[in-house]
């Protein structure tokens, strides 16, 4: 039998490795930014075009590379971080596998320009396409490294077709940028997307970096957290319980300046907020954990976002107690306070005076029923109203009634009245007589009788269908009615969220929103749709931004559809809301005026019918 096992060619092995390292343009951004951090850069610039599909460029002023290192860094398993197996257990840098640049060069056009500080003004320029070195030559470049990744997945069209829309991909890139920028506040970062500045982050401390990324209003939401033990050092901030959200947005864990995801530690944070936030709400946090590198294993996941701790139980307990202590220390958590209210304290000028009983003066000779003599006339203190006008209406009425009684008494005795049979009733009132045709069950379902049996309607899903068709019509026809607010509403969002609202501002105005201003961090709304209350505006916008981040189609019609679905979901009457008879009937009538009354916008069933025969079978 012939030999069938053979070694893979290098370019094929690199493409296979790229499947683990490079999943989307955001993966390239992560690897290149981490390399710049490892190079001790003080200023890093990220340039993006077409959501990274056309260009991902990272410019840093770090140590740079020599001619040999510049050529060798694109080889597989070439790294300056690890020399022996023991080094895997004391890793303090970001990249250490030596596969990142090799994998990226296998599926893109890569250009590298680098120069060390020791060399003259001449550095090295290398161009690689599909793992093949096209050129390597000296070039005049600035100190540091500039690496450009163009035409990602140009030689793997199937992988390129699986990429999402530009809006989704740029969101992933911004997420990776946030994670690296938050972990290194001492480094200045700049992000440029399609020629426009998205972030300008100067070197600062952790708190200022958070504020620069998520907006100035974030500063008042933060509660500092700090604790240091032999096992663990905790620093960072948690967001006040008042600003908890339904979405899991601002949640960041960093272990030794490396972003990680840990459901176990997340549970510790949620447990520390127990009793302070409602069910279903998620707290925000920016927590930095410093541990001994020997006590963790960061090589258990290809993206290095999951790590293994030696003593997870101790970390859980320390993290939970530290956050609880911080919330109580800054008067966020409720505490028992037996001190007297300062409002009941005696004023300073009265503190040395003795209490004096108040004097009460009473006119003991006052008698409200005593006559008073005034100018010869006898008067009473209270005037009696003139009642002659209404008393005259009853004059002679008694005699007339008595006369009618005597003349008609013998006739009344001969009249026989057939009385209805009095029977007990099962229900308090007759629904048909009162006109009630619907009933509400558990404040969730509306039951309506029909000829064949009865119909059960899910009130939340039914209202979603009604609002969805109404909103979609308003966006398309552009004839929505707005209600003007006496006092405009002001909301604060991060820059990426503001950019999302700017893109859909026109569609929102067609639904009835009126924007007074929409600048870098602030949104001011002076008018809302008629079907939405002021208290719902914040929830609607927050849910809308979340849904658009998760999935934004490119087509205009599909974007309008997603907008209508998101707003309908937020504005629909919630399960558990009690509806009166008129509201139930109005909801049923509106539902059957829809084009698709039986299906909700998310394709869930709105109503079911039950036949009388089904009930009859139950009683056999």
Q: Whole-angstrom Cα distance, residue 170 to residue 495?
A: 13
Is domain 439-609 classified as CATH 3.40.1190.20?
A: no
Q: In this structure, are strands 132-140 and 233-239 parallel, antiparallel, or unpaired? A: unpaired
Q: Which of 130, 100, 125, 91 is nearest to 29 (CA)?
A: 100
Rounded (10°) CA dihedral 393, 395, 399, 402: 30
Q: Which is higher by pLDDT, 478 or 266?
A: 266
Q: 264-273, 275-284, 540-549: which has the minimum mean pLDDT?
A: 540-549
Tell me what pLDDT residue 249 has.
74
Instruction: Give the count of alpha carbons within 13 A of 129, CB side only.
Output: 6
Q: Which of 83, 45, 86 is nearest to 62 (CA)?
A: 45
pLDDT at 375 over 50: no
Instruction: Give the count of alpha carbons within 13 A of 316, CB side only.
Output: 14
Residue 258's H or E segment, with its range, is strand 258-260
Q: Where does the pLDDT of residue 215 fall: very low under 50, low under 70, confident under 90, or very high at 90 and above? A: confident
Coil, helix or strand at residue 102? helix
Tell me what pLDDT residue 96 has.
46
Q: Where does the pLDDT of residue 42 fall: very low under 50, low under 70, confident under 90, or very high at 90 and above? A: very high
Boundaries of every domain in the chain = 10-201, 206-329, 439-609
Distance of CA 202 to the CA centre of its chain: 27
Is domain 10-201 classified as CATH 3.30.565.10?
A: yes
Tell me what pLDDT residue 21 has.
72
Over the range 136-160, which residues count as b (16 or more CB within 10 Å of their CB) and which as e?
A: eeeeebebbbbbbbbebbebbeebe
Work out the average pLDDT over 390-416: 58
Residue with tokens 């209805």: 420
- Per cent of the chain over pLDDT 90 is 20
pLDDT at 429 over 50: no
User: Is pTM beyond 0.75 here?
Assistant: no
Q: 93-107, 546-560, 593-607: which has the minimum mean pLDDT?
A: 546-560
Q: Whole-angstrom Cα distance, residue 601 to residue 286?
A: 36
Tell me what pLDDT residue 60 has.
93
Residue 309's H or E segment, with its range, is strand 308-309
Tell me what pLDDT residue 432 has.
47
Q: Whole-angstrom Cα distance, residue 445 to residue 342?
A: 51
pLDDT at 341 over 80: no
Q: Are 497 and 465 in contact (CB under 8 A)?
A: no
pLDDT at 302 over 80: no
pLDDT at 132 over 70: yes
Say which residues have a Cβ less than 8 Å from residue 485's Cβ, sequence separation at least 6.
525, 526, 527, 528, 534
Q: For residue 183, what are the CA distances in angstroms to 34, 219, 267?
A: 11, 18, 22
Over the range 347-369, which residues count as b (16 or more CB within 10 Å of their CB) and which as e?
A: eeeeeeeeeeeeeeeeeeeeeee
Which range is most confident: 92-106, 225-239, 349-363, 534-548? 225-239
Q: Where does the pLDDT of residue 426 fall: very low under 50, low under 70, confident under 90, or very high at 90 and above? A: very low
Work out the average pLDDT over 162-177: 87
Q: Whole-angstrom Cα distance, residue 127 to residue 111?
A: 5
Residue 197's H or E segment, with its range, is strand 196-201
Residue 220 corresponds to which tokens in the numbers above?
């008042």
Q: Are 317 and 269 in contact (CB under 8 A)?
A: no
Radius of gyration of the chain (CA): 38
Work out the average pLDDT over 563-583: 86
Instruction: Put the strands of the sheet holding 222-228 in their side by side order.
Output: 222-228, 233-239, 285-290, 251-255, 258-260
Q: 401-415, 580-594, 597-611: which has the minimum mean pLDDT?
A: 401-415
Coil, helix or strand at residue 556? helix
Question: Which architecture characterizes domain 206-329 according to CATH?
Answer: 2-Layer Sandwich (3.30)
pLDDT digits (tens, 9 = 90+) for 54-104: 999 999 998 888 888 888 888 876 665 555 555 555 555 655 455 778 888
Q: Where does the pLDDT of residue 245 fall: very low under 50, low under 70, confident under 90, or very high at 90 and above? A: confident
At 372, phi and psi to the nearest 5?
A: -120, 135
Q: Whole-angstrom Cα distance, residue 477 to residue 479?
A: 6
Residue 237's H or E segment, with its range, is strand 233-239
Q: In this structure, are strands 43-49 and 188-193 parallel, antiparallel, or unpaired? A: parallel
Q: 86-100, 169-183, 553-567, 593-607: which has the minimum mean pLDDT?
A: 86-100
Work out the average pLDDT over 151-164: 85
CB count within 10 Å of CB 323 equals 26
Work out the average pLDDT over 464-468: 90
Q: Where does the pLDDT of residue 556 fall: very low under 50, low under 70, confident under 90, or very high at 90 and above? A: very low
Residue 172's H or E segment, with its range, is helix 166-183
Tell me what pLDDT residue 496 has.
80
At 376, phi and psi to the nearest 5?
A: 80, -10
pLDDT at 610 over 80: yes
Question: Alpha helix (H) ranges present in 527-611?
Answer: 534-550, 556-571, 581-591
Q: For residue 180, what are the CA distances in angstroms to 78, 152, 169, 270?
A: 23, 22, 17, 24
Tell me what pLDDT residue 258 has.
87
Tell me what pLDDT residue 300 has.
59
Q: Are 75 and 68 in contact (CB under 8 A)?
A: no
pLDDT at 416 over 60: no
Q: For residue 50, what are the CA distances in angstroms to 21, 90, 142, 168, 311?
A: 21, 38, 26, 11, 44
Q: Whole-angstrom Cα distance, residue 595 to residue 605?
A: 14
pLDDT at 146 over 60: yes
Q: For residue 455, what are the CA distances in angstroms to 434, 440, 467, 611?
A: 20, 12, 21, 9
Tell me what pLDDT residue 236 has.
93
Instruction: Put the strands of the sheet holding 445-450 in their side by side order.
Output: 439-441, 445-450, 453-458, 607-611
Tell me what pLDDT residue 154 has.
87
Q: Which of 31, 61, 70 is nearest to 145 (CA)?
A: 61
pLDDT digits (tens, 9 = 90+) for 217-243: 888 889 999 998 888 899 999 999 888
pLDDT at 362 over 90: no
Q: Whole-angstrom Cα distance, residue 566 to residue 568?
A: 6
Tell me what pLDDT residue 616 has.
83
pLDDT at 436 over 90: no
Tell me what pLDDT residue 176 has.
92
Average pLDDT in the chain: 80
């Amino acid at each position: 039998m012939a030999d069938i096992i053979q070694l893979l060619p290098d370019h094929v092995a690199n493409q296979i490795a790229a499947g683990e390292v490079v999943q989307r343009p955001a993966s390239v951004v992560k690897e290149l930014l981490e390399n710049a951090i490892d190079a001790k850069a003080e200023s890093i610039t990220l340039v993006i075009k077409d959501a990274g599909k056309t260009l991902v460029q990272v410019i840093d002023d770090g140590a740079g590379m020599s001619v040999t290192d510049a050529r060798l860094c694109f080889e597989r398993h070439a790294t300056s971080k690890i020399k022996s197996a023991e080094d895997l257990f004391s890793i303090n840098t970001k990249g250490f596998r030596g596969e990142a640049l090799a994998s990226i060069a296998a599926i893109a056009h890569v250009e590298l320009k680098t120069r060390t500080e020791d060399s003259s003004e001449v550095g090295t320029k290398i161009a690689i396409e599909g793992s093949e070195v096209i050129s390597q030559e000296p070039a005049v470049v600035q100190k540091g490294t500039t690496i450009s990744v163009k035409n990602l997945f140009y030689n793997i069209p199937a992988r390129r077709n699986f990429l999402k829309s530009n809006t989704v991909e740029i969101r992933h890139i911004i997420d990776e940028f946030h994670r690296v920028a938050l972990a290194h506040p001492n480094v200045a970062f700049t992000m440029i997307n399609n020629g426009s500045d998205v972030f300008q982050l100067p070197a600062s401390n952790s708190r200022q970096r958070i504020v620069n990324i998520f907006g100035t209003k974030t500063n008042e939401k933060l509660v500092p957290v700090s604790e240091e033990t032999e096992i663990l050092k905790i620093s960072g901030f948690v967001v006040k319980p008042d600003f908890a959200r339904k979405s899991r947005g601002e949640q960041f864990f960093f272990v030794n300046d490396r972003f990680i995801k840990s459901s176990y530690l997340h549970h510790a944070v949620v447990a520390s907020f127990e009793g302070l936030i409602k069910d279903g709400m998620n707290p925000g946090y920016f927590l930095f954990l410093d541990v001994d590198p020997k006590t963790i294993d960061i090589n258990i996941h290809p993206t290095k976002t999951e790590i293994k701790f030696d003593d997870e139980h101790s970390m859980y307990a320390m993290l939970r107690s530290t956050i609880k202590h911080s919330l109580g220390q800054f008067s966020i958590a409720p505490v028992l306070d037996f001190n007297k209210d300062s409002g009941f304290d005696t004023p300073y000028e009265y503190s040395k005076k003795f209490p004096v009983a108040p004097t009460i003066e009473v006119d003991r000779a006052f008698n409200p029923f005593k006559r008073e003599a005034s100018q010869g006339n006898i008067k009473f203190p209270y005037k009696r109203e003139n009642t002659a006008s209404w008393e005259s209406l009853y004059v002679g009425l008694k005699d007339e009634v008595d006369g009618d009684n005597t003349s008609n008494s013998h006739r009344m005795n001969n009249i026989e009245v057939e009385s209805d049979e009095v029977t007990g009733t099962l229900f308090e009132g007759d629904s048909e007589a009162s006109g009630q045709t619907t009933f509400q069950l558990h404040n969730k379902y509306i039951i309506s009788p029909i000829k064949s049996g009865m119909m059960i309607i899910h009130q939340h899903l039914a209202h979603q269908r009604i609002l969805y068709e109404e909103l979609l019509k308003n966006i398309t026809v552009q004839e929505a009615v707005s209600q003007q607010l006496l006092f405009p509403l002001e909301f604060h969002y991060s820059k990426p969220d503001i950019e999302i609202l700017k893109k859909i501002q026109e569609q929102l105005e067609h639904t009835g929103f009126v924007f007074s201003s929409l600048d870098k961090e602030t949104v001011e709304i002076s008018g809302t749709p008629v079907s939405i209350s002021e208290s719902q505006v914040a929830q609607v916008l927050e849910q809308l931004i979340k849904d658009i981040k998760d999935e934004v189609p490119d087509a205009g019609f599909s974007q309008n559809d997603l907008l209508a679905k998101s707003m309908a979901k937020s504005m629909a009457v919630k399960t558990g809301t009690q509806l009166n008879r008129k509201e139930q009937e109005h909801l049923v009538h509106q539902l059957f005026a829809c084009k698709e009354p039986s299906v909700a916008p998310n394709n869930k069933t709105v109503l079911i019918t039950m036949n009388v025969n089904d009930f009859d079978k139950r009683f056999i």
